Amino acid sequence: MAKAITEQYGDSSPLLVGIESGGAWVAQALNEKLAKPLPMGTLNPAFYRDDFDTRGLKSTVSPSKLPLEVDGQHILLVDDVLMTGRTIRAAMNELFDFGRPASIALVVLFDIGHRQLPIRADICGETLALPPHQRVELRGPSPLVAEIRNLVVEDETETRS
């Protein structure tokens, strides 16, 4: 993925924005592999999600931190897992509240399908064909460890096993 970023962006300096928390970990790991590190920030789109009422909010929500103005910047939006597209939509909504970027490219470590919105990755580490009852969980930040987990449905709510 670092090679693809270098090939596509060369000497330019897009803003690398990791989505909390897994995407931020992936963005940091990518930035360490680039010959020329990029300016980097983090985004927490928790309040921008359209399923906020059903998912709730984690007990701690870290604020978004962007080191540069977004207006006119090329943005590399980084997430760990692309599934439905809802987190990416929420992140883009938040980015536009910061300003008007020149472009947004999506970089993901894993694409597992099951899209509910028309969103695709521009740079993808790996595409996995997982059944609907499985998810990829990323633990980190160092070392980054990915694990495939099964979901168990109990009383119409999902829990991890």
Q: How confident is the model at residue 104 (pLDDT cuts 50, 70, 90)?
A: very high
| Residue 59 reports pLDDT greater than 70 | no
Give the tens place of pLDDT for each residue, 88-100: 999 999 999 999 9
Torsion of CA 30, 76, 65, 72, to 10 degrees: 140
Report the pLDDT averaged over residues 35-58. 82
Alpha carbon of residue 62 to chain centroid: 15
| Token digits of residue 51 | 């399923």
What's the rounded mean pLDDT across residues 36-59? 80
Mean pLDDT of 39-52: 87
CA distances from 145 to 38, 80, 136, 138, 161 (A): 23, 11, 10, 6, 17
Average pLDDT of span 57-77 = 86
The whole-number pLDDT of residue 55 equals 61
Contact at 8 Å (CB) between 40 and 31? yes
Cα–Cα distance, 47 to 67 (Å, whole number): 21
The CATH code of domain 2-132 reads: 3.40.50.2020
- pLDDT on residue 52: 62
At 57, the pLDDT band (50, 70, 90 cuts) reads: low
